Amino acid sequence: MILRNTIANGQLLLLLMLLYTSEYLCSGKTVSTEPLAVALPEPRAYLPDAQNLDFVYHDHEELTRFLRATSARYPNLTALYSIGKSIQGRDLWVMVVSSSPYEHMVGKPDVKYVGNIHGNEPVGREMLLHLIQYFVSSYNTDQYVKWLLDNTRIHILPTMNPDGYAVSKEGTCDGGQGRYNARGFDLNRNFPDYFKQNNKRGQPETDAVKDWISKIQFVLSGSLHGGALVASYPYDNTPNSRICRSSALCAMFQTYSAAPSLTPDDDVFKHLSLVYARNHAKMSRGVACKSATPAFENGITNGAAWYPLTGGMQDYNYVWYGCMEITLEISCCKFPPAYELKKYWEDNQLSLIKFLAEAHRGVQGFVFDPAGMPIERASIKIKGRDVGFQTTKYGEFWRILLPGYYKAEVFAEGYAPREVEFVIVEQHPTLLNVTLQASKRVEGVGAGGPSFYRPMQAPQHYRPGAPPYAAAASNDNGILSTISNGLNSLYSNIFG
């Protein structure tokens, strides 16, 4: 009966060990303290060249091996490159997944995902590895994936903060250990800010990302975080009220009031956030992670209405480069146990794919000169939406817009500005090609005689006029400002 119960309880190995020890004790022989040579399974089955990627956390060496092996196995669908190194010398790897991985596909948009900007929030890091695996393994069997990869170049940066991840602890749901880079900087507070001067010293990781997005005209982007369950959209920061312009204490208390800070493209950002939330298994329910944390209607929020922050990456993408980026908080626990990763993948898989397809919504086209040659860096602004964008070296442009009637203002140095009208419908992007005429010749201008009149050069990117009180608010300093910054840091450590 004892033997039968032991076997039934799955304790056969322990019984054999006891019998083995008892035999040696009875014979008077010394019992060895070496472990039995029993064929036990490895703690995980991950192999860098395996077809399938396990649902475990991968350190930087394993992550690198997986990306390299995937690139070698799928050379027609992937390309691996580094945009720079972390402070401790770890590569910031980017994997391109596309049917044209090594070169830009003219007329087809570039999009990106960035994970693990906070080192202790690694669920997004693992989700992006599984997304890569799913794309390459499903290209020939999933028609939707094939269409997406045939018409889009997808750039995936699984970890922006590998140094922070290296010191993080699995199972830690809250706190700040590993959140920051190796110098103690929060990378999602380290970008230039539209509303307030950001005096924090630039870090190698953020400098690498800034250089990256200055070279590629990204249309759409998602940044993956943990600590909440919500899709958050710009603006993350907000101008201080005029009454607070000279009071750090006033600004501190206003920081934690729920005040939305809306972009000119608020309708688009809400739509993009809803696309992710509604395709997610749970996010759109808007359930709070904990009783003390906020619930979000439909699983989305304006960033500043949640809590304002200075130097965020999504605001920088949008204001400086016209890239529509949202922040995706995908796990209530920042660093949940590895056995939960499969559940997170099942929750997020459809959202991650459907969100990228939104790059094909709105208007797209080319800007040409009269000879049919593309005009690089032509500036474009949708009338009534003061954050603009520019053409690529091939004259391409894209803008995500919802159905409606629009006017676009297009101009470039040496060409006469032009205004064009167009309509967006629900199902297909509107194709819009614009030809700019050279500016008229004006005689006797300048010491050299005849020359071309050139209108005032457009700024590199349109930006809304800076609030007149933003600069004044940025000058607050001293102990109250320090307290305000400390509270902001504490709030971030709790909520993501």
Catalytic positions? 329
| CB 255 within 8 Å of CB 483 | no
Hey, what amino acid is at 216? I
Tell how many helices (H) and how many strands (E) occur in the chain: 14, 17
Residues 305 and 230: their CA atoms lie apart, in Å, by: 13
Residues 169 and 290: their CA atoms lie apart, in Å, by: 21
**Number of other residues whose CB lies within 10 A of the CB of residue 250:** 18
* 7 CB-side CA count, 13 A: 3
Look at the alpha carbons of 257, 262, 263, 265 in this order and tell me if their dihedral is positive or negative. Answer: positive
- Who contacts 362 (Cβ-Cβ below 8 Å, separation ≥6)? 398, 399, 400, 401, 402, 424, 429, 430
Degrees to nearest 5, angle at CA 338 with 337 and 339: 95
* Residue owning tokens 């040409």: 368
Residues 88 and 74: their CA atoms lie apart, in Å, by: 30
**What are the CA-CA distances from residue 387 to residues 232, 324, 458 (Å)?**
19, 11, 13
Give the helix ranges, DSSP H, for 98-158. Answer: 123-138, 143-151
Cα 419 to the center of its chain, rounded Å: 33
- Who contacts 229 (Cβ-Cβ below 8 Å, separation ≥6)? 282, 283, 287, 289, 296, 299, 329, 330, 331, 332
Which of 158, 142, 162, 161 lies closest to 150, judged by CA?
A: 142
Beta sheet of 91-97, edge-to-edge order:
78-85, 91-97, 153-157, 110-115, 218-225, 324-331, 228-233, 300-302
DSSP string covering 365-412: EEEE-TTS-B-TT-EEEETT----EE--TT-EEEE---SEEEEEEEE-
Residues 133 and 131: their CA atoms lie apart, in Å, by: 5
**Number of other residues whose CB lies within 10 A of the CB of residue 74:** 18
Hey, what amino acid is at 10? G
Helix (H, G, I), strand (E, B) or coil at 94: strand
Q: Which tokens is 369 given? A: 């000169």
